[in-house]
Chains A and B, each alone.
Chain A
Amino acid sequence: MTQGDLRMTATAERGRALTMLVDGGELTASEGESIAATLLASGRRLTRWTARTGEPRGYFCGMGICQDCLVTVDGLPNVRACMTPVRDGMRVETQRGLGEWGAGQ
């Protein structure tokens, strides 16, 4: 995990602060950020473990194509973190394999 906040704060004013839960822990986000942007800004690279070999994966293509940054959001698995905006109170779970409906609920 890289240390500190990776937001380029000098280059833009950001949306209002909101709070989401990542694997049960609170994480502050700016409204408008994608889930991936929020996770990466806090140095969290891991989004899921693969189904077959349990390898760690994260943000790769950043444009909705590679399907590697999948997370479970409010109990719904296989949500692309790079294409999904954060919401206040959203529950994000690092996904294991194909994911499990209702995980983290």
Chain B
Amino acid sequence: MSATPRSVDCVVVGGGPAGLAVARTASRHGVRVMLIDENAELGGQYYRQMPAGFRAAGGGPLGKESVEGRRLIDEVRTLGVELCLDAVVWGIFDQRTVAVATREATSLIDAETLVLAPGAYDRPVPFPGWTLPGVLTAGGAQNLMKGYRVLPGRRVLVAGSGPLLLVVAHYLLHGGARVVAICEASPMRQLWRYAHRLLPHLDFVQQGYRYRKEIKDAGVPFLTGHVIRRALGNGEVTGAVVSRCDDDWAPIGGSEQSFDVDTVVAGYGFVSSLELSRLAGCEHRWEPALGGWVPARNREMESTVPGVFIVGDGAGVAGSAVALEEGHVAGLAVAGRFGRLAGREYSREASRARGRLLHLAGFRRVMDELYRFGPGLYSLADRDTTLCRCEEVTAAEALEAVREGATHVNEVKAWTRVGMGRCQGRMCGPALAHLIARATGRPVTDAGVFTPRPPAKPVPLAALAHESH
């Protein structure tokens, strides 16, 4: 480890919409910004760019967001933001010292201000067969199609909840795959109740309507109040079983239906990536509508640790439009800290952005109610279902630890190795907390969260052995 880390005014971790917006706003006001991302190109998941050497052809829906993202990325590059790509932030020490590893070397950076924009990932929901090759997340399917123009399969079942299911089905159909059915867990009843609240957001509504019409015209069954029950196959997916579910999204026995498929896409919403905000020592609170645990923040997007800001889906899942505005607000706040922005200009700009956030929040609340997550989904796992994909711990093994007296995820981890593997508990953590809650009859918040430890992601030994400045 280096004894004298390099100092940077503002370090932004994550180059999706939120991180890009921070970098743009702060550097426009003269702040020296370093932007770190794990991918070779900026954009994150929503603005995912195709690799260099690829060029979109024939129009179509797949490139829309990446074109919008391209503009923002080019702007950030032109502003002279220092880019650190293909690099993993594997630790945060003393609140704002960032440990970053490239493929060759690791270094420490002292961030005067640190903005975390780590994004979110698909909520992992264990069900029988969910580890079979051919089962993938909605985000993973989207990346494959949007980023690499490759279909995940030919006969696909899409199961989950929320508007992303429609988007994924739309991409699949566009690419020539057969979508055998879409299973939306939410009952989607009495949609008219939301009409007046959706009026200010007609553009979103129209987009949703177009997707639904396309799906209907393609003859794809749209099954509301249905969940994936199991993926079938020996070696890889060859079939899937779905069933009706109750309002808590628990499967209803005797209502099973089978499909002959080669691929299952599962997308039950998203959860925030919290490893870095937890390593920085930020306080978190429980907000089920935002995905679960989220960092506590003030109006300027600053966490409970002074100088550490958190923006975008990593601070509660709310989508790219919100991420852009939050990034802008944090960028303004950072510029203010360095005296780059007069008080009056700051207030005017920030209050405009907050107005836009308020408008977006109206739409988000409707979505939250419409697609309210049902924890009954966690009862999909049988006793033999793998809970921890890395250490191959079954639901039964985890529950055995609970019967022996474990009440916190960290206790189950210590007793069974669940959450100890390479993914650092990202895949099993949310489900384990719910399994404990159901078994003990206590609130899910009592089961807690895995204590994150550096390295937050596996770092090649070669990089750890070599320092650079």
Contact = CB atoms under 8 A, between A and B. Distances in A.
B137 A60 contact: yes
Nearest to A64: B38
A10 B392 contact: no
Nearest to A7: B150
Contacts of B391: 52
A11 B144 contact: no
Interface in B131-177: 131-137, 139-145, 147-154, 174-176
A34 B392 contact: no
Nearest to B86: A83
Interface in A41-64: 41, 45-47, 50-53, 55-64
B133 A16 contact: no
Interface in B171-221: 174-176
B423 to A, nearest CB: 5
Interface string B110-136: 000000000001101000000111111
A65 B143 CA distance: 13
Q: What bracket does the count of chain A residues touching chain B fall in?
A: 35 or more
A9 B57 CA distance: 9
A85 interface: yes
Nearest to B143: A62
B51 A85 contact: yes
B390 interface: yes
Nearest to A36: B144
A68 B388 CA distance: 11
Nearest to B394: A53
Contacts of A47: 133
Interface in A24-45: 30-34, 36-37, 40-41, 45
Contacts of A83: 38-39
B136 A59 contact: yes
A66 B152 CA distance: 17
A59 B137 CA distance: 9
Given A32-B54, A47-B133, A8 B149 contact: yes
Contact of B149 (A11, A16, A51, A61): A11
A46 B136 CA distance: 12
A14 B53 contact: yes
A6 B422 contact: no
Contacts of A6: 150-154
B121 A63 contact: yes
B153 to A, nearest CB: 5
Contacts of A78: 422, 458
B262 interface: yes
Nearest to A1: B236
Contact of B458 (A10, A62, A67): A67
Contacts of B392: 50-53, 55
B53 A11 contact: no
Nearest to A48: B133
A11 to B, nearest CB: 5
A12 B55 contact: yes
Contact of B54 (A13, A55, A82): A13
Contact of A62 (B38, B133, B136, B263): B136
A2 interface: yes
Contacts of B175: 8, 11
Most buried by A among B51, B262, B392: B51
A97 to B, nearest CB: 11
Most buried by B among A1, A2, A9, A52: A2
B60 A2 contact: no
Contact of B57 (A13, A30, A82): A13
A46 B154 contact: no
A15 B52 CA distance: 8
B408 interface: no
A2 B53 CA distance: 27
B56 interface: yes
Contacts of B237: 45
B144 A2 contact: no
Contacts of A52: 391-392
Interface string A87-98: 000000000000
21 contacts: A3-B154, A8-B145, A10-B58, A12-B56, A30-B54, A32-B50, A32-B52, A33-B148, A37-B144, A37-B148, A40-B152, A46-B236, A52-B391, A58-B236, A60-B137, A61-B136, A62-B137, A64-B38, A65-B426, A66-B427, A68-B389
Closest 9 pairs (CB-CB, A-B): A62-B140, A32-B51, A58-B133, A15-B53, A45-B133, A37-B148, A67-B422, A8-B175, A8-B149
